[in-house]
Amino acid sequence: MTTQSDPPKQAFRLSQLIYDTRYRSLTIQTVAMILLAVGLFWLVNNTVQNLQALGKDFNFGFLGERAGYDINQRLVEYSSNSTHGRAALVGILNTLLVAFLGCILATVLGIIAGVLRLSNNWLVAKLMAVYVEGFRNVPLLLWIIAIFAVMTESMPQPREFRGETPTASMMLNDSVAVTNRGVYVPRIAFTNSLTGNEAVASRDGLTPVASGGIDWLLILVVLGASLFGIRAVRRWASAQQEATGIRPVTWYMQLGLLVVPTGIVLLILGATVVNPYLKGFNFTDGIHLRNSLIALWLALSLYTGAFIAEIVRGGILAINKGQTEASYALGLRPGRTMNLVILPQALRVIIPPLISQYLNLTKNSSLAIAVGYMDVRSTLGGITINQTGRELEGMLLLGGFYLVLSLAISTVMNIYNSSVKLKER
């Protein structure tokens, strides 16, 4: 009789760490981690030694020191007596402002141009091709400087709005003024502000109006709640359509949820529109959009919009033509076919490269220094570093800000991309 038994196990040998596929990947990862740790230790140690040789330490106490410089474009209160930390906050908000406005306008321009490039109208298609090829093949910095020069040199001076026979006039019922110093637009103020009222000079004398961060925060909270309500209505309509085959009309409910709550809050706060007006040698009151902001915003939007247009065009071409023919067979017109059939399917192809364009636009906003727009690169990464001599700390903070912002944009867009991708049943 014979008995079966397991074969004897071979003893572990060091050569298996290289030649045995069961251990090779672990060995490579371990070696790579050790080399990375050694490199980081050498870099940090070398930096500390160099700082000690220069008589410097590593700390962020400079953020509490007096800044001593002015910032022309700002969203929050700031003066030269504020701290470097406050100046960095103003620069961060300015960066977020131009990035947010740029992403919105670039998306709108890119979608329109991408769709029109596929138009059957030869002239329209060629005009969009000229726009796309013209903007994406010229460096962004040149477009920023060119638009800034046009705004500065070709727009009328404030004094041209004065006199019995002015050579320039305000637009939209004397509420908007376009000058070589920037664009002046109306602002919204509140006579019942939660932060207290203040007397502000106007054409009619002193008017008690104010606008604080608490007021706008309340409006944003109400607006956010309205958007959640609109989303709930859409889900309810989709559930009704799936159950009965008929989608109920909900546009008036969505419009009411968007307008009524926000309108009630504005009414309670006593919202009023304050128009800019000419006083002395310049316009006062309202919101002053400086040429540097406008030039940076338009250049970033037009430049990035050209790339988005190609992404949209590629996404549309990726959809089978049978989808278009089927929608035409059902009686849908070209516009409805594009909005309801083609674009929703093309989003799955468009969103991933669109994220990269949003990230590029955000990081390209650092070119604002070319036209004097005080973003975080100009404040924290420029004047603050020059005044305090804290190059390492300033650059680490600057790089950390761009890293966090880029990761936030990627996270939000990836969540949206997950919501539009195909769902398996």
What are 176-210's pLDDT values in tens digits?
888 988 899 998 888 887 776 554 555 555 454 55
Beta pairing partners, 171: 176
CB atoms within 10 A of CB 156: 15
> What pLDDT does residue 404 have?
92
> What pLDDT does residue 197 have?
55
| Stronger pLDDT, 251 or 307, i.e. the higher one | 307
> What pLDDT does residue 46 have?
86
CA distance 316 to 313: 5
Q: For residue 367, count CB atoms less than 10 angstroms from its CB and return exposed for 0-12, middle for 13-18, buried for 19 or more.
A: buried
CA distance 228 to 224: 6
- % residues pLDDT > 70 (the chain): 91
* Beta carbons of 359 and 406 less than 8 angstroms apart: yes
Q: Three-state SS for 419? A: helix
Residue range 325-330: average pLDDT?
Answer: 84
**Per-position DSSP letters for 14-35, written without gaps between them:** TTHHHH-HHHHHHHHHHHHHHH
Residue range 227-238: average pLDDT?
Answer: 90
Residue 345: alpha-carbon gap to chain centroid: 25
**Per-position DSSP letters for 370-399, written without gaps between them:** GTT---HHHIIIIIIHHHH--HHHHHHHHH
Segment 111-144, tens digit of pLDDT: 999 989 988 889 999 999 999 999 999 999 999 9
DSSP letter at 288 equals E
pLDDT at residue 361 is higher than 80:
yes
Residue with tokens 């529109």: 273
Residue 231's closest CA among 254, 249, 248? 254
CATH 1.10.3720.10 holds for 59-154+300-404: yes
pLDDT at residue 297 is higher than 90:
yes
Segment 367-404, tens digit of pLDDT: 988 898 999 999 988 899 999 888 888 888 999 999 99
Residue with tokens 């402002």: 97
CA distance 393 to 58: 7
| Stronger pLDDT, 213 or 170, i.e. the higher one | 170
Where are the domains positioned within the chain? 59-154+300-404
> What pLDDT does residue 199 have?
47
List Cβ<8 Å contacts ≥24 apart for 335-340: 338/115
pTM, two decimal places: 0.81
Residues 6+ apart with CB under 8 A from 159: 281
Give the N- to C-terminal CA distance of the chain in Å, as an integer: 57
CA distance 92 to 374: 9
Mean pLDDT of all residues belonging to the chain: 85
Give kind and range of the element (H or E) at residue 277: strand 277-279
| Stronger pLDDT, 132 or 328, i.e. the higher one | 132
Amino acid, single-letter form, for residue 5: S
Segment 80-100, tens digit of pLDDT: 889 999 999 999 999 999 999
> What pLDDT does residue 9 have?
60
The sheet with strand 182-185 has its strands ordered as: 177-179, 182-185, 287-289
List Cβ<8 Å contacts ≥24 apart for 56-62: 56/389, 58/392, 58/393, 59/393, 60/390, 60/393, 60/397, 62/384, 62/388, 62/390, 62/393
Segment 33-78, tens digit of pLDDT: 999 999 988 888 888 788 778 777 778 888 898 988 888 888 888 8
Segment 258-285, tens digit of pLDDT: 899 999 998 988 888 888 888 878 888 8
CA distance 379 to 27: 46
Residue 283's closest CA among 140, 137, 125, 170? 170
Dihedral (Cα; 339, 340, 341, 344), 10-degree rounding: 80
φ and ψ of 184, to 5 deg = -110, 120
CA distance 288 to 294: 11
Residue 108: alpha-carbon gap to chain centroid: 13
| Stronger pLDDT, 34 or 344, i.e. the higher one | 34
pLDDT at residue 6 is higher than 70:
no
